[in-house]
């Protein structure tokens, strides 16, 4: 029995999610590969730290503003 006070969350499209992550993985492999982007190849987890923090704040702002596309 479902609780009417809990919002309905649709079951995610697992195949679609898998395909999206696979596509992202292939993009990263290409960018960091021998013929990829020199800037991307130089990046490390430490060098990406400040960008990751900035992106996290942008995500939180979008959530606060109910701005789903961003």
- State pLDDT tens for residues 4-39: 788 888 888 899 999 999 999 999 999 999 999 999
Instruction: Compute the average pLDDT of residues 34-53.
Output: 94
The pTM for the full model equals 0.59
Helical (H) or strand (E) element with 19 = helix 14-32
- Non-local CB neighbours of 60 within 8 Å, separated by 6+ positions: none
Name the one residue in this structure whose structure tokens are 């919002």. 7
Per-domain residue ranges for the chain? Answer: 14-64
């Amino acid at each position: 029995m479902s609780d009417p006070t809990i919002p309905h969350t649709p079951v995610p499209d697992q195949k679609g999610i898998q395909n999206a992550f696979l596509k992202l993985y292939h993009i990263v492999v290409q960018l960091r590969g021998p013929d990829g982007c020199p800037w991307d190849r130089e990046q490390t987890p430490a060098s990406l730290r400040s960008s990751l923090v900035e992106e996290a704040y942008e995500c939180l702002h979008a959530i606060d503003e109910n701005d789903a596309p961003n």
